[in-house]
């Protein structure tokens, strides 16, 4: 995650993400891509049932640092989904950022949304705090058949719970 997430913002996001993972079904699979100076694959196609604690630890170990490669991370997530999806898979990407893309060089907002659509992934975006680029995040979610949320430390857990309930627990952070 980018450096701007330091402090209580990061703590709130981590708490919400852990709660989200804990609500996922045992048969669900998750991938997590952190985006700072470069997108980093933190968890790749991990089955929740047998690895829930491992995924929780991976989330808890995320650190705020670097820039924001938001669009590249979305594009990478879409490519990962395209490589691993099956006909029975519900594909969703949950994208949380507190700022604007500052460093992507492989994807734009439009090409990231197109990659998500091509991989049959729905993109849910969360603008976390007052500095997030709400217009871009809203547009991205709309283009990828998802929803846009405005979140803060007080509402982020409720947003994750709403998304988890909407998919019956079959949606994850990144996948």
Look at the pTM and tell me if it is higher than 0.75. yes
Residues 148, 107: Cα–Cα separation, whole Å: 20
State the average pLDDT over residues 2-16.
69
Residues 150, 117: Cα–Cα separation, whole Å: 22
Spatial CA neighbour of 127 closest among 116, 138, 143, 113: 138
Domain 3-166 class, CATH top level:
alpha beta
pLDDT in tens, 105-126: 999 999 999 999 999 999 999 9
């Amino acid at each position: 995650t980018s450096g701007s997430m330091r402090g209580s913002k990061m703590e709130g996001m981590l708490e919400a993400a852990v709660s989200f993972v804990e609500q996922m079904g045992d048969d669900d699979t998750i991938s997590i891509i952190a985006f700072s100076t470069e997108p980093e694959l933190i968890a790749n196609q991990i089955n929740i049932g047998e690895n829930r604690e491992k995924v929780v630890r991976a989330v808890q170990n995320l650190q705020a640092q670097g820039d924001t490669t938001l669009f590249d991370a979305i594009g990478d997530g879409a490519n990962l989904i395209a490589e691993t999806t099956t006909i029975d898979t519900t594909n969703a990407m949950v994208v949380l950022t507190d700022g604007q893309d500052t460093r992507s060089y492989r994807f734009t907002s439009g090409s990231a949304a197109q990659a998500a659509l091509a991989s049959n992934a729905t993109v849910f975006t969360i603008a976390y705090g007052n500095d997030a680029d709400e217009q871009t995040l809203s547009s991205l979610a709309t283009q990828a058949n998802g929803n846009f949320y405005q979140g803060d430390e007080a509402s982020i857990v409720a947003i994750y719970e709403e998304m988890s309930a909407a998919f019956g627990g079959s949606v994850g952070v990144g996948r």
